Amino acid sequence: MKFGAETVAFWLLGLLNNSVYVIMIAGANDISSGAVGLVYFCAVFPALLVKLSAPYWFHLISYDVRMTVVAVMMTGSYLTVAYGRHMSWQLLGVTFAAFQGGLGEASTLALCSLYDSRRALTLWSSGTGFAGVAGYTWVAVLHLWLGFTFRTTLLLANVTSVAWLFIYHKVLPPPNLEAISQLHTLTSRSESTSDLPQGTTASAADRLAADASLLGLEAESKGRLSRRQKDAADSLASRRETAGSHNSPAWQPNGANGMTRRASWLDLDHAASSEQPSNAALLGDEERGRMSTDGDAATSSRQQRPEDMAWGERLVQTVKLWPYLVPLVAVYFAEYAMQTGTWTAIGFPVTDPAARHRFYAASNWCYQLGVFVSRSSGLAYQATVPVLWLMPALQLLLLLFFMSVAVSHWIYNWVLLAPCLMTGLLGGAVYVNAFTLISRHVDPLMREFSLAAASLGDSLGIAFADVAGVLIQNGKLHMDHNLDTHGFIVF
């Protein structure tokens, strides 16, 4: 893997975005020792609401604004929890953290579509995977080992909001909009030339549609473009004006200069790789093959731009992502039901609260390790859709396994940490592969929209698991052993 600025930036953005949530959950007992479940509720449902609504308003607000709101919410959550004298104020701070996490995740996933999607998504996923380890380490070192108060621990964590803005504005390079604009021209039907000035060629119409549609130049007055998009768009427009009629053959529509669509793809690959190698793989082999075989049929069908879709059309487009959403919901439901339910009922011996806490801590460290490893594997392995569905099925079997262990103790020793590690491996693998598959299979025009819309899958699964975990924890498992549980919850 080439470690450039783009690689470092997406990894750190993932780390910082999720660390806030983890720090809040790690300090749940300090916030409210008697209502940890309520802390968990406040840490999940605001993010779910953001992700559910994101497809309907993200196109109206620029990345710059959203990323700034994320940083403000980071600071707001730390300060509100640190200085809140009553539990209600502290829970409001946790809500800020959840809102920040949901907004940051959905926005950055969408932002990945403007770069080499698979690389950006993998690095983002890897960073979020390491956030679990980093967040708990932050609290453990400062609060538990060095003896700082939880308030001081939170105040020191404000460095994350400063780092977030610095990385987004100063470290992350602008996207290669030249190559993406070419991609748009080759994958969508040009706007009708009937309303264009006389003498405007089909090739020129394609270029105008590509520049205006994908770069969002027509929406600049609405504030949709970020600073980096505007800079890149201005540079692109300048090159267009300078180039005049001397355009790359890849810009000609199918048949305009005797070239086939396949030849245009080859020219695009050459132009993109020579100008910015890290962004040459804007389309996977599967997409290129599909475009080559579709030919004129694909060109003849008009594709609507995401910013022009009505609410109902946005809902339909989100529902179409079900092959990726269902595995995300299922795998997160299973693993969080294990964490909030079955793992709290295991200990050696089970009647000792300290023993249960030791197993719970160890099981979650193994889980976090598995998540980090598998979320970092996106460039080494790409699952197919059937494999994507197989992994949550295995995760549900692990949930049944741990439920039976908690009840019957038929396997009851530290070897149980192995399936805890597997739980993390499966969960992380579904996350990174679901989004990289979306970036490969979804129409390029809908890629940015789809990545943001699909982000609701994990939060929806966690919400279901929150309810199931309470039922498991307070049900027959604990009644049989007369356990004194406190609802340990971790990321």
Structural Rg of the chain based on CA atoms:
24
- 173, 208, 223 — which closes off a domain? 173
Q: Does the residue 145 lie in any domain?
A: yes
Give me the residue label for tokens 């929150």: 466
Average pLDDT, the chain: 76
Same-domain check for residues 246 and 364: no
Mean pLDDT of 349-359: 85
Tell me the pLDDT band of 219, cut-offs 50, 70 and 90: very low
The CATH number of whichever domain residue 166 belongs to comes to 1.20.1250.20
Same-domain check for residues 299 and 387: no
Same-domain check for residues 100 and 198: no
Which range scores top for mean pLDDT: 289-303, 455-469, 477-491? 455-469
Q: Does the residue 232 lie in any domain?
A: yes
Same-domain check for residues 46 and 11: yes
- What pLDDT is attached to residue 366? 92
pLDDT surpassing 70 at residue 206: no
How many Cα neighbours within 13 Å face the side chain of 318?
A: 19
Same-domain check for residues 336 and 461: yes
Same-domain check for residues 431 and 341: yes
Q: What would the pLDDT profile of 151-167 be if each residue is shown by its tens digit?
A: 899 999 999 999 999 99
Structure tokens at 360: 């719970």
- What pLDDT is attached to residue 143? 85
Sequence-distant (≥ 6) Cβ neighbours of residue 63 within 8 angstroms: 107, 111, 226, 228, 229
307/212 Cα distance (integer angstroms): 12
Give the DSSP letter string of 70-117.
HHHHHHHHHHHHHH-SSHHHHHHHHHHHHHHHHHHHHHHHHHGGGS-H
Same-domain check for residues 154 and 185: no
By CB atoms closer than 10 A (0-12, 13-18, 19+), residue 414 is exposed
Q: What would the pLDDT profile of 251-275 be if each residue is shown by its tens digit?
A: 233 333 332 322 222 333 333 333 3
- 109, 142, 173 — which closes off a domain? 173
pLDDT surpassing 50 at residue 308: yes
By CB atoms closer than 10 A (0-12, 13-18, 19+), residue 140 is middle
The C-alpha angle 126, 132, 138, rounded to 5 degrees, equals: 120
- What pLDDT is attached to residue 364? 86
- What pLDDT is attached to residue 11? 96
347/414 Cα distance (integer angstroms): 9
Q: Does the residue 313 lie in any domain?
A: no
Task: Encode burial over 433-469: b for 16+ CB neighbours within 10 A, e otherwise.
Answer: bbbbbbbbbbebbbbbbbbbbbbbbbbbbbbbbbebb
The C-alpha angle 440, 296, 254, rounded to 5 degrees, equals: 90
pLDDT, greater one: 221 or 146: 146
- What pLDDT is attached to residue 327? 97
pLDDT surpassing 60 at residue 466: yes
pLDDT, greater one: 237 or 308: 308
Tell me the pLDDT band of 237, cut-offs 50, 70 and 90: low
Q: Does the residue 312 lie in any domain?
A: no
- What pLDDT is attached to residue 397? 97
Tell me the pLDDT band of 419, cut-offs 50, 70 and 90: very high
Tell me the pLDDT band of 126, cut-offs 50, 70 and 90: very high
Whether the CA torsion 377, 379, 380, 384 is positive or negative: it is positive
- What pLDDT is attached to residue 42? 81
- From the list 327, 344, 328, 334, the residue with the least C-alpha distance to 490 is 344
Q: What would the pLDDT profile of 11-38 be if each residue is shown by its tens digit?
A: 999 999 999 888 887 765 556 555 556 6
- What pLDDT is attached to residue 50? 95
Which residue range(s) make up the domain with 95?
A: 1-173
From residue 174, alpha-carbon distances to 49, 58, 71 in Å are: 29, 19, 20
pLDDT, greater one: 20 or 280: 20
Least confident of 20-24, 27-31, 183-187, 486-490: 486-490
Same-domain check for residues 376 and 244: no
**Which H/E stretch holds residue 151?**
helix 150-156
- What pLDDT is attached to residue 303? 56
121/260 Cα distance (integer angstroms): 32
Q: Strands, DSSP E only, in 131-215? A: none
Tell me the pLDDT band of 231, cut-offs 50, 70 and 90: low
Q: How far is CA 1 from the centre of its chain?
A: 20
Least confident of 313-317, 326-330, 349-353, 426-430: 349-353
Same-domain check for residues 111 and 234: no
Q: Does the residue 31 lie in any domain?
A: yes
How many Cα neighbours within 13 Å face the side chain of 296?
A: 5
Centre a 10 Å sphere on the Cβ of residue 243 and count the other Cβ atoms it contains: 12
Q: Does the residue 41 lie in any domain?
A: yes
Biggest CA-to-CA distance, the chain: 84
Same-domain check for residues 157 and 181: no
pLDDT surpassing 50 at residue 490: no
pLDDT surpassing 90 at residue 64: yes
- What pLDDT is attached to residue 156? 94
Tell me the pLDDT band of 361, cut-offs 50, 70 and 90: confident
Same-domain check for residues 142 and 169: yes
Number of domains in the chain: 3
Q: Does the residue 314 lie in any domain?
A: no
Tell me the pLDDT band of 306, cut-offs 50, 70 and 90: confident
pLDDT, greater one: 353 or 271: 353
From residue 392, alpha-carbon distances to 324, 325, 331, 482 in Å are: 11, 11, 4, 32
Q: Does the reported pTM lie above 0.85?
A: no
Mean pLDDT of 276-295: 42
Mean pLDDT of 91-108: 93
Same-domain check for residues 99 and 224: no
Q: Does the residue 26 lie in any domain?
A: yes
Mean pLDDT of 368-372: 93
- What pLDDT is attached to residue 221? 32
